[in-house]
Chains A and B, each alone.
Chain A
Amino acid sequence: MESKPTLEVKDLCTYFFTKGGVAKAVDGISFSIEPGKVLGLVGESGSGKTVTGFSILGLVDQPGRVVGGEILYRGEDLNKVSSERMRELRGVNISMIFQDPMMTLNPVLRIDTQMIEAIRAHENISKKIARQRAREALGQVGIASPDERLRAYPHQFSGGMRQRVAIAIALLNKPDLIVADEPTTALDVTIQGQILYEVQKLCSQTGTALIWITHDLSVVAGLADQICVMYAGKIVESGEVNAVLDNPMHPYTHGLITSVPSRNKRGVPLAQIPGMAPSLLNLPKGCAFAPRCKWSNSKCHEPPDITLAGSDRRLLCHNPIEYENNNDSRGSV
């Protein structure tokens, strides 16, 4: 197992220059991911998780721009490469799975046309071989009778099937890195199970690194090795998945975990985070979470620095929750 990371993001900043001001959608985040590993990027809507994914693939559109930081793919800074080089990488080395498979698929082209096109755009091979590869890819994601299905149009597939086709296209060229943006959010649990199964198999077999962007902590719990929790454009807590979920140190992570229904006792009111996520155009001074945090104090008016808590654990908080003998020292506050 090589330990060199597939992707290293350092201090990435993606801002949107709107009429109302500058929205710092992603504001100085850093993380890295190694081959064969799954990184769960968790956050609520507007936290910047999708923009992070788009930044990695160079898909940020006007009025947004990556304004700082480095995105190192095997040591190559994706921010600095030419658009030709980016096109070479995209789809072969790095691919993306979107939430809505209809965004990936062209509704007026047959599946085979789209898949063969994706292969031949990057490799000089005959249509026949490309077709064979497409067929194998469909089989790989568990689509029955792939020959027939290749000749179908996207609207002839159900939602789960379409998402599997989108995943098959993402896998076509055996990428080293897949960015998956809420790929199972719109799907039923049984279909979600099937897709998680395919993805997990792929990562362990081919050493593909996977960034799984979601708002659903429970999916990440079962799938990911590492977890990054985003809030208002910043990673507020990151670390190994068990450590973060069992002993959340950032009050926001703690709030997220306790507000998931299944963990709480039935009939008892859920622990809730008061208020709502702040507008990116009008962030509070200092820690962005402070107005919703029950442990905030005067220190929180200053922006917190990233602190290391344990070898692999990074934290952005002035008053992290501390654990002693498995008891939250401020448990009943």
Chain B
Amino acid sequence: MNNREIETPILGIENVSKRFVKSLDLAGKIAQKLGANVREEIVHAVDGVSIEIQDGEVVGLVGESGCGKSTLGRVVAGVHEASDGKVLFRGRDVATLEGIEAREAALKIQMIFQDPMSSLNPRLRVQDIIGEAPVVHKVVDPSEIEDYVAQTMTRVGLDPSYARRYPHQFSGGQRQRIGVARALAVQPDFLVCDESVAALDVSIQAQVLNLFMKLREDLNLTYLFISHDLGVVEHLSDRVVIMYLGRVVEVAPTEVLFKEPNHPYTKALLAEVPRLDTRARRFAPIEGEIPSPIDPPSGCHFHPRCPNATSKCKEETPLLREISSNRYSACHLNDEY
């Protein structure tokens, strides 16, 4: 095991926030001038999140739709810019890098998307989808690109003789492999997988998950694995981060989290996961809906749905605190100890 204290994490997310602002249109502006009660809508998709990821680690990022997990993944991959906070790659702030260094850092973090059909250009042949970036970024010489593409395709379990086909000629699982091959072609160190297996059938999902694990061993990759499927995350991750409405509510090593969840939201989430071993269940729902991120509840975001909420939860935002070694949770219930 690596010594956490000494090594610089491969990726550091420091107090990152991402806000989306829906500005007023002309009619709205006029209405505002005339004194109507309209204002710009601000969505706090990600609200002050800090995570450190060590080299070779697989971190699962779990939450329900609208909790900001995809936005965070996109900030890490450089698709979105953070509104506040820093993303550190090997200790250096990505936003302040320039020129070649910035490009290097951007290449080293790659993203694999949920729906391979909408993330692959339908008009490009597979060899161009996989081969374009490495040529542009001079990872390989243009004269060797064919061999390089074949090699990458073999690595992800695709037959290199399919290189001249188009994405629509492949099945869902194969398309996802093309997405993986495209990400791998620029030789990244860090992969952000955003619901990368959610759209696949169970038997195909197992194949792709096994591929991720094999690649991790072969290439020493680090993953940020975003998923709403706790079963998948439990299987794959070393550490799990749980998000709720833009904030991290709990971070813990996978085994500990699934054995003894600390945060009431984590507990509720784990209780809802359907499992093969639970038969003839009596379902009992978590009360209420996920609140809108435009107008989140005060204090702890989870308090309207929390069975243990107190008056303090309504007023004060709980901080993410270390409750035992390597375990963090943001809940006022831990204050008593």
- Chain A contacts to B: CB under 8 angstroms: 44-45, 142, 158-161, 188-194, 196-197, 200, 215-219, 221-223, 241-242, 245, 255-257, 259-264, 266-267, 269-273, 276-277
Best-surrounded residue of B65, B204, B210, B289 (most CB of chain A within 10 A): B289
A196 CB to nearest B CB, Å = 4
- Contact flag A256-B203 (CB < 8 Å), given A241-B279, A245-B276, A270-B210: yes
Q: Given the complex of chains A and B, what is the CA–CA distance between A41 and B286 in angstroms?
A: 27
Cβ of B283 under 8 Å from chain A = yes
Contact present for A259 and B202 (CB under 8 Å): yes
Q: Does B231 contact A221, Cβ atoms closer than 8 Å?
A: no
Contacts A189-B272, A221-B279, A259-B202 hold; do A270 and B289 have CB atoms under 8 A apart? no
Cα distance, A197 to B283, chains bound together (Å): 5
> In the complex, what's the smallest C-beta–C-beta distance from A185 to chain B, in angstroms?
10
Query: In the complex, what residue of chain B is closest to A45 when comparing beta carbons?
Result: B201
Which A residue's beta carbon lies closest to that of B58?
A267
Min CB distance B206 to A, Å, is: 4
- Determine whether the beta carbon of A269 is less than 8 Å from that of B213: yes
A269 to B206, CA, bound (A): 8
Chain B residue total in the interface (Cβ 8 A): 46
CB < 8 Å neighbour of B203 from A189, A245, A264, A272: A272
> With A197-B285, A270-B210, A276-B173 known to touch, is A219 a contact of B274 (CB < 8 Å)?
yes
**Which of A192, A193, A194, A217 gathers the greatest number of chain B CB atoms within 10 Å?**
A193
Q: Mark B202-219, 1 if CB is under 8 A from A, else 0.
A: 111111011001100000
A24–B235 alpha-carbon span in the complex (Å): 36
Contact surface of B with A, Cβ cutoff 8 Å: 64-65, 171-174, 201-207, 209-210, 213-214, 228-232, 234-236, 254-255, 268-269, 272-286, 289-290
CB neighbours of B283 from chain A (8 A) = 193-194, 196-197, 200, 222-223
Number of A-B contacts (CB under 8 A): 136
- A272 to B205: give the CA distance in the assembly, Å: 9
Tell me the dominant secondary structure on chain A's binding face.
helix
Pick the residue among A197, A221, A241, A273 that contacts B206 (CB under 8 A).
A273
A contact residues around B282 at 8 Å (CB)? 200
Give the residues in chain A near B173, CB-CB below 8 Å: 276
Contact residues in A for B201 (Cβ distance below 8 Å): 44-45, 215, 277
The distance from the CB of B274 to the nearest CB of chain A, in whole angstroms, is: 4
> Given the known A-B contacts A189-B273, A270-B210, A276-B204, are A218 and B231 also in contact in the complex, defined by CB atoms under 8 Å?
yes
Rounded to whole angstroms, the CA-CA distance of A255 and B201 in the bound complex is 12
Contact indicator B272/A192 (Cβ below 8 Å): yes
Q: Roughly how many angstroms separate A264 CA and B276 CA in the complex, as a whole number? A: 11
CA distance A291 to B62 in the complex (A): 37
Kindly provide the distance from the CB of A108 to the nearest chain B CB, expressed in whole angstroms: 22
Residue of chain B at shortest CB distance from A221:
B276
Q: Evaluate contact between B279 and A161: CB separation under 8 angstroms.
A: no
* Inter-chain contacts of B275 with A (CB < 8 A): 218, 221-222, 262
